[in-house]
Amino acid sequence: MIFLRRRLPLLITMFTGLLFAAQYYVPHPASELLLTSATKWLQIIGGFALVLGVTSLFHQHAVKIRRQEAGWGYSLVLYAGMLVTIVVGLWAGGKESLDGTMTGFGWIYNYMMVPLQGTMFAILAFFIASAAYRSFRARSREAAVLLIAAVIVMMGRVPLGEYLIPLSGDVSQWILNVLNASVRRAILIGVSLGAIALSLKIIFGVERSYLGGGKE
């Protein structure tokens, strides 16, 4: 049992990890084919895993409705929305338009889904303003530096700002290209080394907690 639960997954991880690490160095079409096939397999497995996800979602909201928890009405809306979308989608053959005419599925997507997504994204503008207000208050030396840098960059990135303070364009470019870029690259070097080290630990079975934690 321990072989099936622990050792076999570790062996598969090690084999596939080394195989696909080697694949990166092999330009042969066979190697490309292997990568393409593996990607397709991942998509297929992902499709089947969606059943797990939808089951979890149904269960979660079924419990809410049964217990009549706060906001259980929204769970009913979710069920209704999901069922209507599935039925309309199957009816339209999964197509948004047929012979140039919008299907019910296309209508749901274009007039409900897209505006709702747009609304969520639009809220970001207000959240940026409130977050900026909080962080740009010069309460400490670091915050003051942040405030000054932010003002210069903001002025340098808009035509009016550059018109009012002509130097702000060049200074903001310098801040972005020199200070900001160097810090970003430093972070990226650290991230890359961290990701490689984690990958090595997983491939060689040093890190096993993703299998369910614990030691054998």
Partner 1 sequence: MLNVSRSRTCPLECTRSERFNRSVFRWAFVRYGPIALALAGALLSYSMAQAAPSAPASLHVIDTPNDGGGSLTIVWVPAPSDGPTAQYEVLIGEGGATDPAALKVVAEFPANTRYVKEMKAAWWTRPADRSWHQYVVRSGKGVELKDGTAYTVTVAMRQGVERAVGPLLQATPEANWFNWNQLNNLILALGFGGLVFYSIRHAKRNDIFLRRIPGLDAVDEAIGRSTELGKPILYLTGAHDMSDPSTIAAAVILGRVAKRTAAYETELMVPHRDPITMAVCQEITKQAYLEAGKPDLFKEDANFFITADQFSYTAAVDGLMLRKKPAANFFMGSYFAESLLLTETGASTGAIQIAGTDSDHQLPFFVTTCDYTLIGEELYAASAYLSKEPVQIGTLRGQDIGKAIVLTIIMIGTLLATIGAVTGSSWPQLFLDLFKDLK
Residues contributing to the site for partner 1 (CB under 8 A): 21, 24-30, 32, 42, 45-46, 49-54, 56-57, 59-60, 63, 70-71, 74, 116-117, 120-121, 123-124, 127-128, 130-132, 134-135, 184, 187-191, 193-202, 204, 206-207, 209-214
CB of 134 to partner 1, least distance (A): 7
Per DSSP, 211 falls in state: G
Contact 105, 94 (CB under 8 A): yes
Q: Which is nearer to partner 1, 112 or 158 (CB)?
A: 112
Q: Which is nearer to partner 1, 101 or 130 (CB)?
A: 130
CB of 121 to partner 1, least distance (A): 6
CB of 49 to partner 1, least distance (A): 4
The C-alpha angle with vertex 37 and arms to 16 and 15, in degrees rounded to 5, equals: 10
β pairing state of 97-98 and 101-102: antiparallel
Q: Which is nearer to partner 1, 99 or 142 (CB)?
A: 142
Q: Which is nearer to partner 1, 33 or 98 (CB)?
A: 33
Q: Which is nearer to partner 1, 12 or 206 (CB)?
A: 206
Alpha helices in 27-166 (DSSP H): 29-67, 72-91, 104-108, 114-135, 141-157, 159-164
The secondary structure element, H or E, covering residue 169 is helix 167-174
Q: Which is nearer to partner 1, 18 or 164 (CB)?
A: 18
CB of 158 to partner 1, least distance (A): 19
CA-CA distance, 151 to 146, in Å (whole number)? 9
Contact 162, 188 (CB under 8 A): no
CA-CA distance, 151 to 145, in Å (whole number)? 10
| CB atoms inside a 10 Å sphere around CB 76 | 12
Place of tokens 């338009």: 97
CB of 185 to partner 1, least distance (A): 9
CB of 99 to partner 1, least distance (A): 28
